[in-house]
Homo-oligomer: A and B are copies of this chain.
């Protein structure tokens, strides 16, 4: 009856639950952590530029909220979230072409929590998840903790290959996980026609869909595309949004949009997970949006990040040897580099760190363990001159590696 004893760090008897066997830290990610705050030219993290955060606006709003509504802003709240903020989120999504009522919204601690709650509600061990390869690392880890298996779908410049997704769904996959805009880690966007095919295939086969659209607001060119969740009638579609990229991540406010019966179940899980999201921060984000600050704030992020993306694309063009290729993101925070197959990004990282440069090798984002010759670059954390210097150093290392 005693739980199975697992692992034995530090000589202790260990008895972790089976579900967390696959939840481990990546040695590479731990290594990269050691570079924080040490002057490295860092293209590794997933951090927005904090100089763009609306600190003054949030300071004034927080003071106003506490003055006007202090007791409620510090009291327990509903698991579903603060009703006015649910209305704001519903309006935002309706504006994206995804008609939404506030009852279809659950406020979460960032979109990560929406992802974890949806997986917890929908996935049994052994279920098959259709997932882009590469995909978002913390999503893979969350799915891993629920014991799922993967049907990986390759990406090309138009996003997830729809025929592969359709085949996996026809074979009985339970859920599709898609990052439709400026995907982390590649920066690739799923094109409009494929969105229709994948949304319809999921609905037709009775599968769930999690559309993780954390980067929607960070579009630097081209028209916005309609969310997958709006393209097929699927009672098991879940849309994840966040204010982390459009206001600031440290407030930890995001939201889930789903059909009301599913939102009710997710709210029950939210309650046993952490009761509800912060009452004060929900009110601050609500007030920020209602004062009309969201769009101008997003415009500031877009302007700064677009210039950095352009700087990185130009610097790569100048610095990289011809055998190296990279994606051309229309938005977001990342682009993805493919080295010649003879090179290992983890080896390059060692060399780059010696030159004061860090990035994330791509294998960690591949649920199938591929991608040894790929790497992710964050183009928003550093300014243009540091981006140019970083690409110069990496290009030099790669030229030496390829000629050596």
Contacts and interface: CB of A to CB of B under 8 A. Distances in A.
Interface of A: 1-4, 9-10, 12-20, 23-25, 46-48, 50-51, 53, 55-56, 58-59, 62-63, 66-67, 70-77, 108-110, 112-113, 116, 120-124, 127-128, 138, 141-142, 145-146, 171-174, 206, 208, 235-236, 244, 248-252, 259, 261, 264-265, 268-269, 271-281
A112 B46 contact: no
A214 to B, nearest CB: 11
A44 B66 CA distance: 26
B15 A236 contact: yes
B272 A112 contact: yes
B249 A277 contact: no
5 contacts: A19-B124, A113-B273, A113-B274, A142-B273, A281-B281
Contacts of A274: 108-110, 112-113, 116, 252, 274
Contacts of A171: 1
A20 to B, nearest CB: 6
Given A17-B121, A171-B1, A274-B112, A280 B268 contact: no
B12 A261 contact: yes
Contacts of A71: 50-51, 53, 55
Contact of A275 (B63, B138, B173): B138
Given A55-B66, A206-B13, A121 B20 contact: yes
Contacts of A121: 16-17, 20
A16 B53 CA distance: 39
Contacts of A10: 261
Give the interface centre of A3, A121, A249 by most chain B CB atoms within 10 Å: A3
Please list the 3 inter-chain residue pairs (A to B) with the smallest Cβ-Cβ separation, ordered nearest first. Answer: A250-B279, A1-B172, A55-B70
B15 A272 contact: no
A48 to B, nearest CB: 8
Contact of A2 (B4, B13, B75, B174): B174
B55 A59 contact: no
Contacts of A9: 261
Contact of A124 (B4, B141, B145, B206): B4
Given A2-B206, A250-B278, 16 more contacts: A1-B128, A12-B259, A16-B121, A17-B146, A20-B265, A53-B70, A53-B75, A55-B71, A112-B272, A113-B273, A116-B273, A138-B272, A145-B269, A145-B272, A252-B274, A278-B281
Nearest to A18: B124
A17 B124 contact: yes
Contacts of A73: 250
Contacts of A23: 265, 268-269, 272
Contacts of A235: 12-13
Nearest to A207: B2
Given A25-B268, A116-B273, A124-B3, A208 B172 contact: no
A174 B15 contact: yes
Contacts of A62: 59, 62-63, 66
Nearest to A20: B121
A150 to B, nearest CB: 13
Contacts of A208: 15
A16 B117 CA distance: 12
A74 B59 contact: no
A234 to B, nearest CB: 10
Contact of A112 (B261, B268, B273): B273
Nearest to A127: B3
Give the interface centre of A14, A248, A249, A273 by most chain B CB atoms within 10 Å: A273
A72 B62 CA distance: 16
Contacts of A236: 15
B112 A75 contact: no
A202 B30 CA distance: 34
